[in-house]
Amino acid sequence: MSHDFSNGHLLIGGQWRAGKGAPITSIFAAEGTENQTFNGASREDVEEAIAAAKAAQPAWGALKPHERASYLYRISEGISANIDRIAWVQSRDTSKTLAETRALAASAAATFRYFAAVLETSDELLTVPRGDYTTLSVHEPLGVVAAITPWNSPIASDAQKVAPALAAGNAVLLKPASWSPLVCLELARIIDEAGLPKGLFSVLPGSGREVGNLLVEHPDIAKVSFTGGTSTGKHLARIAADKLMPVSLELGGKSPTIVFEDCDEDLAIAGILFGIFSSSGQSCIAGSRLFVQRSIYDRFVDRLVTATKALKVGHPFDADTQVSSLVHADHRASVEGYVAMALEDGGRVLCGGKRPEGLDAGAFYEPTIIADVANTDRICREEVFGPVLVVMPFDDEADVIAMGNDNEYGLACGIWSRDHVKCQRIARAIKAGTVWINTYKQFSISTPFGGDGASGIGREKGRAGLRAYQSQKSIYEDMSGRPHPWARWP
Ligand code: NAP
């Protein structure tokens, strides 16, 4: 499959033109080649985009919900009609398999469709009065929203922010990650072709420290919705605190997967492999800490290692590839650093732990399982964001709940057992925004998603996802026609 890249122009304030900022180079890490170099956004571009967004937003916010929804439906259709191209661009940009990038593009289309439907069907509240008045609780747009996204599933993260923010009546400025700058240009083209009023949506690729920071600090930005690493999220939250600006933070994870002796082992092995090694482990919700009950530990881990060794590592455009290249050679170096650290701390590699043979040009790394680690080791505490699983035994429920929760993150958890009551008990006891029971990494746009602790603040998706981009106003209207009895005058 072959397509061309766009001309690298940015959509800034309703105009397609070259950015005036520093050059950005997109790499095809699976082959170690360059995709494209183009100019990112400059300070001047950011200012221009913000000014256009401010000018365009009031009219957009004043449209009836069904009128705004009609644009989102068109965007959804535009994405659906371009899935092959979007998937190709994103696979070249991130080295993800085409199967995955097609699924991400389809999910982005579904996200726009969903939030159009939510918008059209969201009622406002007439609240119960305690006097002779009526009270309305209504929702209004915030104004100009900045969306800052990471490289690991760009079109899906972009859609999860842009769709509800536009639906809610805001203007949106999207800053993608510098390692995946291309697919947002495709999204911008589709949004523009859907006829969205000029200026409402701009794409501003550029470095996080410059373009990202500018957006967060800017007085005209009413909210930042961020997905990315925890240290970046904390930095943005500090700036936001100073401005008293709302932020949504979708951050990292170190999610526990818990395997009880009474599980269906085939189901568990398949789910664990998918949970950690799909997307080459570059997933915030990767099930990266595996706890296996001691009574089945040796046998289960042996089976898991055998299954891991059978995974097909290969080129992202090969249909049978399960584990593709990492996004960038620098990222592989970071993953390798973590594995080396685990070995220094006494860890033992059961499989992987090295680059695969015969794929030397790309940033590939073998699916890796490390045992003999302690839950307090850095490899068990920090997010590796690569195909690396640590495995530890546990004795009983209390033991595994304590170990699962002994981590600053709280994003996701997997539980494998045939005892449904026990699964529900553990699900409630574990600190996590999402818990999967006898499955892993399943998503529905209707179901809220987000993290606790160092995994973030706020929730995306679901009907309430729209509310994250609105402010709430209460309106009281007197129905008595009588002056307030407190105020007396002659
Ligand atoms: P990152 O380094 O934090 O970058 C995320 C985004 O923030 C990028 O667009 C980046 O731009 C920008 N940025 C960096 N510094 C900034 C600053 N000072 N001000 C404003 N923006 C700034 O994260 P990443 O490496 O791209 O992504 C991986 C992380 O994302 C992992 O920790 C993963 O767990 C997390 N993630 C979380 C979720 C979730 O929903 N919870 C989903 C996906 C990923 P540059 O690329 O130009 O630096």
The active-site residue, picked from 31, 48, 186, 250, is: 250
Ligand 1 pocket member 409 (CB < 6 A)? no
Identify which of 297, 286, 288 has the alpha carbon closest to the alpha carbon of residue 259. Answer: 297
CA distance 141 to 469: 7
pLDDT score for 222: 98
Per-residue pLDDT tens for 245-276?
Answer: 999 999 999 999 999 999 999 999 999 999 99
Q: How far is CA 226 from the centre of its chain?
A: 9
Strand extents, DSSP E, 128-179 = 133-141, 144-148, 171-175
Minimal-distance CA residue to ligand 1 atom 18: 209
Per-residue pLDDT tens for 323-334?
Answer: 999 999 999 999
Per-residue pLDDT tens for 135-153?
Answer: 999 999 999 999 999 999 9
CA distance 444 to 31: 33
CA distance 116 to 164: 8
Is-contact 425 270, C-beta < 8 A?
Answer: no
**Residue 133 Cα distances to 97, 306, 484, angstroms:** 59, 70, 12
CA distance 485 to 391: 71
Ligand 1 pocket member 232 (CB < 6 A)? yes
Per-residue pLDDT tens for 428-478?
Answer: 999 999 999 999 999 999 999 999 999 999 999 999 999 999 999 999 999
Q: How far is CA 268 from the centre of its chain?
A: 25
- CA dihedral angle for residue 66, residue 67, residue 72, residue 74, rounded to 10 degrees: 110
Residue 66 has pLDDT above 80, yes or no: yes
Enter the tokens of residue 44. Answer: 């001047």
Enter the tokens of residue 260. Answer: 């009880």
Query: What is the residue whose two structure tokens read 């859609």?
Result: 159
- CA dihedral angle for residue 157, residue 159, residue 164, residue 167, rounded to 10 degrees: 160
Is-contact 96 321, C-beta < 8 A?
Answer: no
Enter the tokens of residue 97. Answer: 């398999």
Residue 335 has pLDDT above 70, yes or no: yes
Enter the tokens of residue 93. Answer: 């940009």
Ligand 1 pocket member 235 (CB < 6 A)? yes
* CA-250 nearest atom, ligand 1: 41
Q: Nearest 5°: CA angle at 16, between 14 and 17? A: 130
Quick one: which H or E segment has residue 33?
strand 33-39
Minimal-distance CA residue to ligand 1 atom 40: 250
Report, as an integer, the average pLDDT of 351-360: 97
Per-residue pLDDT tens for 113-124?
Answer: 999 999 999 999
Ligand 1 pocket member 252 (CB < 6 A)? yes
pLDDT score for 2: 67
The DSSP code for 449 is B
Q: Is 319 exposed, middle or buried (0-12, 13-18, 19+ CB in 10 A)?
A: exposed
**Residue 299 Cα distances to 49, 198, 294, 296, angstroms:** 58, 61, 10, 6
Confidence of residue 1 (pLDDT cuts 50, 70, 90): low
Ligand 1 pocket member 36 (CB < 6 A)? no
Is-contact 414 257, C-beta < 8 A?
Answer: yes
Angle subtended by helix axes 65-81 and 183-193, to nearest 10: 130
The active-site residue, picked from 31, 48, 100, 284, is: 284
Is-contact 11 190, C-beta < 8 A?
Answer: no
250 is catalytic: yes
Residue 415 has pLDDT above 70, yes or no: yes
The DSSP code for 208 is I
Mention every residue, 6+ apart, whose C-beta is less than 8 A from residue 5: 35, 36, 89, 92, 182
Report, as an integer, the average pLDDT of 157-181: 98
Ligand 1 centre to CA of 177 (Å) is: 7
Mean pLDDT, the chain, whole residue set: 97
Identify which of 222, 200, 114 has the alpha carbon closest to the alpha carbon of residue 164. Answer: 114
Instruction: Tell me which of 27, 43, 152 to substitute to probe ligand 1's pocket, judged by most ligand atoms within 8 Å of the beta carbon.
Output: 152
* Count of other CB atoms within 10 angstroms of residue 218: 18
pLDDT score for 3: 83
Instruction: Tell me which of 284, 383, 441 to substitute to probe ligand 1's pocket, judged by most ligand atoms within 8 Å of the beta carbon.
Output: 284
Ligand 1 pocket member 213 (CB < 6 A)? yes
184 is catalytic: no
Q: Is 304 exposed, middle or buried (0-12, 13-18, 19+ CB in 10 A)?
A: buried
Ligand 1 centre to CA of 152 (Å) is: 9
Please give the backbone phi and psi of residue 94, each rounded to the nearest 5 degrees, phi first.
Answer: -120, -10
CB-side neighbour CA atoms (13 Å) of 380: 25
pTM of the model: 0.97
Looking at this protein, which amino acid is placed at residue 100?
E
Is-contact 440 271, C-beta < 8 A?
Answer: yes
Confidence of residue 34 (pLDDT cuts 50, 70, 90): very high
Looking at this protein, which amino acid is placed at residue 293?
Q
Identify which of 253, 285, 235 has the alpha carbon closest to the alpha carbon of residue 453. Answer: 253
pLDDT score for 139: 98
Give just the sign of the alpha carbon dihedral 98, 175, 410, 451. negative
Residue 397 has pLDDT above 90, yes or no: yes
Per-residue pLDDT tens for 85-120?
Answer: 999 999 999 999 999 999 999 999 999 999 999 999
CA distance 457 to 451: 6
Is-contact 175 476, C-beta < 8 A?
Answer: no
Ligand 1 pocket member 158 (CB < 6 A)? no
Looking at this protein, which amino acid is placed at residue 164?
P
